[in-house]
């Protein structure tokens, strides 16, 4: 079978990766749920795909199966349309950056970076040239003679990246490569990873549990939960149109409003929530009377009497009581309570022109129907 | 009292008063070890020194006992046999022990079982084990019977009382001293390094050559030294299963003591001790080995 991304001319510099119903159970004897459960993903040539999920959600295991260090219990992995499940890791030609970098402590930086070339029988002069080039690429020229222990964490990370790309693989896997670094350095290196991705044009599969990192770096994100893919999409897709409660809660902050469906009208669900009619976007067609949860982002709620509210979009409205008000510099954060007891968070950009609400005050809040999602 | 409670760094920063009170806490470890130290002094150090002194003051102060070694054919042959046996046994232990150490480190559920098998020799007396080897290697022993049954030989061959028997028995006894330091070094290799090597295109054999072997060298060095130095001083095993003419230094020493030739025995002992210490001293200077000693002894 030849799939769209793999026929002839449009093979880019990056590999396409297809995971089909990939499964892994480490301990088959136990009744525990599968560690990776029917993961299907189509990763396009040259894409920067991030697997994002909490610890234990199966990200590393999935990556290890792609690299070939773990054998799937079921399902298939195809790289450029060819199944690689039976291929040992050393024949897959995949670059990999480990969380702890896994630099060889007894080899110098040069020897570490040259290692994959040596395994491929690249002659010495050629090797030296490619190693120098790779160190240049990660901004570490002149460090070749040092040993890994003589480098800082950030420098070690760069060496690991250089070593993973020096043999020009078409696919680079990275397992929380910035996890061990401090915040400042992490932000710098995030930008560098993006640059590297643009320069090399190869496919990146990147694993992280840091949603901000995922949102800033990725073309697409696959959110993982309990071994399953909860949703795949662009950062905007995931943030603006979460498909389920897990994604809505894991990426950014969300309010969840219990509601009962009253009808559907051109992809807009009309639901009743605390006595008010709320409209929400929904790709499906929930039945009338069904109990559902609506979600909306705290920064997209407004107090209805604020002067600058946009009028062009249909609005949802709800009466609430202020239970907590916190001034946090650039934003004011309010905890509100609806009549049915539901807690709602509202974030308002702080401005001297906006009146602060007091605790106990009653208020109307409003927000756009486009920012209301049924999950 | 208040100065004593200060952290050491602070106490150092403050200029020391001239009459610092004696810090009893520092003396505690020494006091706790004192009974053993005393015991070792009286029953080990003093006798050893007394014995070694005999090589230079029997009957009066002289170095003649050492001088005669230079043209003592028996000594030179014995020294050579001892050295040769130790090298062979150490190599045998290394070749047999390294794969076992790898197996031990990789085994999961089986690991405690393998460890017990490796350590069994530790818990049996050398004498008993040497008798066992006599039974196994004898003319009508298990080994000869098996070889006969397999048709590989048509009459029993002589194994017992040959250098080969000594080497086989000594390798058996010394294997744990080789395996454990190597296993210890292997265990400290981060498994992600092996994955990384594989992911970077290295076949299992290439990974072994370029990553596992170099990173376990500290353990190999420690095991080799330990085995070699212990092999130098072996007495019971070569005496019981070895050839009648393959005399090792320790056998020669025992022989001389039997003949009440104390000065000669003491001289040989001094040479044996000096050889072992010299090897340790040189080895500690090799890069990585001193370090290996510290970690494998932990
Ligand atoms: N080598 C292993 N042996 C047994 N179970 C494992 C192993 N590695 C991971 N697991 C289990 O598989 C699940 C997924 O783990 P992992 O892929 O490491 O998650 P993540 O990388 O998302 O934190 C967890 O429940 C974890 O306990
Ligand atoms: Mg992980």
State the CB neighbour count (10 A cutoff) for residue B227: 28
Tell me the C-alpha distance between A221 and A43, whole Å: 10
Percent of the residues in chain A that have a pLDDT greater than 90, as a whole number: 78
Inside any domain, residue A163: no
Task: Enumerate residues 6+ apart whose C-beta is below 8 A from B271.
Answer: B69, B79, B249
Per-domain residue ranges of chain B: 83-296
Looking at the structure, tell me whether residues A359 and A264 fall in a common domain.
yes
Q: What is the pLDDT of residues A342-364, one digit of tens each?
A: 999 999 988 887 888 999 999 99
Q: What is the pLDDT of residues A129-163, one digit of tens each?
A: 999 999 999 999 999 999 999 999 999 999 999 99
What CATH number is given to the structural domain containing A177? Answer: 3.40.50.300
DSSP B187-244: HTS-HHHHHHHHHTT--HHHHIIIIIHHHTHHHHHHHHHHHHHHHHT--HHHHHHS-T
Q: Which ligand is nearest to the CA of A39?
A: 1
What residues in A contact B203, CB-CB < 8 Å?
90, 119
Domain boundary pick from A194, A226, A245: A245
Inside any domain, residue A313: yes
The SS3 assignment for A354 reads coil
Looking at the structure, tell me whether residues A78 and A175 fall in a common domain.
yes
Looking at the structure, tell me whether residues A178 and A295 fall in a common domain.
no
Looking at the structure, tell me whether residues A181 and A312 fall in a common domain.
no
CA distances from A284 to A212, A246, A373, A375 (A): 29, 18, 11, 10
Looking at the structure, tell me whether residues A187 and A71 fall in a common domain.
yes
Inside any domain, residue A173: yes
ipTM: 0.83
Nearest CA in chain A to B203: A90
Percent of the residues in chain B that have a pLDDT greater than 90, as a whole number: 64
Task: Enumerate residues 6+ apart whose C-beta is below 8 A from A91.
Answer: B201
Inside any domain, residue A32: yes
Encoding tokens for residue A298? Answer: 């705290």
Looking at the structure, tell me whether residues A181 and A224 fall in a common domain.
yes
Looking at the structure, tell me whether residues A363 and A265 fall in a common domain.
yes
Tell me the C-alpha distance between A59 and A79, whole Å: 18
Inside any domain, residue A102: no
Q: Which ligand is nearest to the CA of A61?
A: 1
Residue A356's pLDDT is what?
87
Task: Enumerate residues 6+ apart whose C-beta is below 8 A from A350.
Answer: A327, A328, A329, A330, A331, A332
Looking at the structure, tell me whether residues A231 and A344 fall in a common domain.
no
Protein residue with its CA nearest to atom 12 in ligand 1? A35
What residues in B contact A96, CB-CB < 8 Å?
196, 199-200
Please give the model's pTM, rounded to 2 decimal places: 0.82
Beta bridge partners of A172: A95, A204
Read off the pLDDT of each residue in B110-136 and give the average, rounded to a whole number.
88
3-state helix, strand and coil shares in percent for chain A, rounded to the nearest 5: 25, 35, 40
Inside any domain, residue A336: yes
Task: Enumerate residues 6+ apart whose C-beta is below 8 A from B205.
Answer: none
Looking at the structure, tell me whether residues A268 and A354 fall in a common domain.
yes
Domain B83-296: homologous superfamily in CATH = MetI-like (1.10.3720.10)
Tell me the C-alpha distance between A286 and A39, whole Å: 26
What is the pLDDT of chain B when averaged over all its residues? 87
Looking at the structure, tell me whether residues A234 and A349 fall in a common domain.
no
* Cα A110 off chain centre by: 33
> Residue with structure tokens 């040959």?
B162
Q: What is the DSSP letter of A146?
A: S
Percent of the residues in chain A that have a pLDDT greater than 70, as a whole number: 95
Min Cα–Cα distance to chain A from B191, Å: 9
Looking at the structure, tell me whether residues A241 and A292 fall in a common domain.
no
Read off the pLDDT of each residue in B246-272 and give the average, rounded to a whole number.
92
DSSP A265-297: ETTEEEEEETTEEEEEE-SS-PPTT-EEEEEE-
Q: What is the pLDDT of residues B37-59, one digit of tens each?
A: 999 999 999 999 999 999 998 88
Instruction: Give the one of B192, B203, B214 whose C-beta lies nearest to A102's C-beta.
Output: B192
Inside any domain, residue A235: yes
Taking Cα atoms as reference points, which of A37, A21, A46, A13 lies closest to residue A220? A46
What CATH number is given to the structural domain containing A367? Answer: 2.40.50.140
Residue range(s) defining the domain that contains residue A322: 253-374
Contact between residue A320 and residue A365 where contact means Cβ atoms under 8 Å apart: yes
Looking at the structure, tell me whether residues A260 and A323 fall in a common domain.
yes
Say whether pLDDT at A168 is over 50: yes
Domain count of chain A? 2
């Amino acid at each position: 079978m030849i799939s769209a991304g793999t026929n002839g001319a449009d093979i880019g510099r990056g590999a396409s990766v297809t995971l089909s119903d990939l499964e892994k159970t480490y301990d088959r004897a136990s009744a525990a749920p599968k560690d990776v459960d029917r993961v299907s993903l189509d990763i396009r040539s040259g894409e920067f795909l991030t697997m994002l999920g909490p610890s234990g959600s199966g990200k590393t295991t999935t990556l290890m199966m792609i690299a070939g260090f773990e054998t799937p219990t079921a399902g298939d992995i195809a790289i450029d349309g060819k199944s690689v499940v039976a291929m040992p890791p050393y024949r897959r030609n995949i670059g990999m950056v480990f969380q702890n970098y896994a630099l060889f402590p007894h080899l110098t930086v040069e020897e570490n970076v040259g290692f994959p070339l040596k395994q491929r029988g690249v002659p010495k002069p050629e090797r030296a040239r490619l190693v120098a080039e790779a160190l240049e690429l990660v901004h570490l020229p002149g460090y070749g003679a040092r040993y890994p222990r003589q480098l800082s964490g950030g420098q070690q990370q760069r060496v690991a990246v250089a070593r993973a790309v020096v043999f020009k693989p078409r696919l680079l896997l990275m397992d929380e490569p910035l996890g061990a670094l401090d915040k400042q350095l992490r932000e710098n290196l995030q930008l560098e990873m993006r640059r590297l991705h643009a320069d090399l044009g190869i496919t990146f599969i990147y694993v992280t549990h840091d949603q901000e990192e995922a949102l800033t770096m990725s073309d697409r994100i696959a959110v993982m939960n309990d071994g399953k893919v909860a949703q795949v999409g662009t950062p905007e897709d995931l943030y603006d149109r979460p498909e389920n409660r897990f994604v809505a809660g894991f990426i950014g902050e969300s309010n969840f409003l219990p509601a009962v469906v009253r009808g559907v009208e051109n992809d807009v669900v009309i639901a009743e929530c605390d006595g008010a009619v709320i409209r929400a976007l929904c790709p499906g067609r929930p039945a009338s009377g069904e109990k559902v949860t609506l979600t909306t982002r705290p920064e997209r709620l407004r107090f209805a009497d604020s002067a600058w509210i946009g009028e062009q979009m249909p609005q949802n409205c709800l009466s609430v009581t202020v239970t907590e008000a916190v001034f946090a510099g650039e934003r004011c954060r309010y905890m509100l309570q609806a009549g049915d007891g539901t807690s709602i968070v509202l974030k308002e950009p702080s401005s001297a022109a906006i009146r602060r609400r007091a605790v106990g005050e009653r208020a109307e809040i409003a927000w756009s129907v486009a920012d209301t999602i049924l999950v | 009292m208040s100065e004593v409670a200060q952290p050491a760094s602070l106490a150092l920063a403050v200029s020391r008063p001239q009459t610092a009170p004696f810090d009893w806490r520092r003396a505690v470890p020494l006091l706790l070890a004192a009974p053993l130290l005393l015991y070792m002094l009286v029953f080990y150090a003093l006798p050893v020194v007394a014995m070694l002194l005999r090589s230079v003051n029997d009957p009066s102060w002289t170095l003649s006992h050492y001088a005669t070694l230079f043209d003592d054919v028996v000594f030179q042959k014995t020294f050579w046999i001892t050295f040769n046996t130790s090298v062979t046994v150490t190599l045998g232990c290394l070749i047999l022990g390294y794969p076992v150490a790898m197996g031990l480190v990789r085994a999961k559920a089986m690991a405690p079982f393998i460890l017990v098998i490796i350590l069994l020799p530790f818990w049996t007396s050398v004498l008993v084990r040497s008798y066992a080897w006599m039974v196994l290697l004898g003319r009508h022993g298990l080994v000869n019977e098996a070889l006969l049954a397999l048709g590989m030989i048509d009459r029993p061959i002589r194994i017992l009382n040959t250098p080969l028997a000594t080497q086989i028995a000594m390798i058996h006894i010394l294997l744990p001293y080789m395996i454990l330091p190597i296993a210890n070094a292997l265990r400290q290799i981060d498994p992600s390094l092996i994955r990384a090597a594989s992911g970077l295109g290295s076949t299992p054999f290439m990974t072994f050559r370029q990553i596992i072997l170099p990173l376990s060298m500290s353990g190999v060095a420690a095991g080799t030294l330990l085995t070699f130095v212990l092999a130098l001083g072996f007495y019971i095993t070569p005496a019981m299963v070895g050839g009648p003419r393959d005399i090792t230094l320790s056998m020669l020493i025992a022989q001389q003591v039997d003949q009440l030739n104390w000065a000669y025995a003491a001289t040989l002992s001094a040479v044996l001790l000096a050889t072992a210490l010299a090897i340790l001293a040189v080895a500690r200077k090799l890069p990585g080995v001193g370090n290996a000693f510290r970690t494998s002894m932990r």
